Amino acid sequence: MNDSVVISYSGQQVSVPKEVADFLEQDRKREQAQEKQNKRHLSKSAFETVLSSSDCVRRPVEDAVLWNLQLETLRKAVDELGEQDRDLIQLRYGGGLTMEEIGTIYGVSKAAVSKRLKKLHEQLRGSVK
């Protein structure tokens, strides 16, 4: 990544490229301007109460950008795994095989497959944060 910026999203600190942070900031400012305009044009009514309640407002653009960024980071992390680890993930999640079926393929126990998958989950989870 180029220059990374840490932003706060849903109470968590997330590292994103500067371009993404700038885009999200512009989107936030546009949303604030729209809310300000809405408040000017509406009288004190139930509609204004609903619009000013930011807890229920979703941010679909921000959600989509961050989701895609996490997905891209996860893909890169999987690509950096060894061939056997990538195959294991492909069999379990791409092929939908059970741990017992994977164990049969590799000649190991279900517990060994489960333990290896758990380690991979922890490793991948650490790269996506």
pLDDT tens track for 85-107? 999 989 998 899 999 999 999 99
Q: How confident is the model at residue 53 (pLDDT cuts 50, 70, 90)?
A: low
Regarding predicted confidence, which is higher, 84 or 15? 84
Q: What pLDDT score was predicted for residue 1? A: 42
Helix and strand element counts for the chain (H, E): 6, 2
CA distances to 36, 60, 123, 126, 129 from 9, rounded to whole Å, are: 22, 13, 22, 17, 12
pLDDT at 84 over 70: yes
Q: What pLDDT score was predicted for residue 110? A: 94
How close are the terminal C-alpha atoms of the chain, in Å?
14
pTM: 0.51
Q: What pLDDT score was predicted for residue 2? A: 52
Token output for 80: 């950096």
> What would the mean pLDDT of 29-47 be, rounded to a whole number?
70
Between CA 107 and CA 13 the distance in angstroms is 42
> What would the mean pLDDT of 1-16 be, rounded to a whole number?
73
Helix (H, G, I), strand (E, B) or coil at 11: coil
Token output for 24: 């999200």
Q: What pLDDT score was predicted for residue 103? A: 94
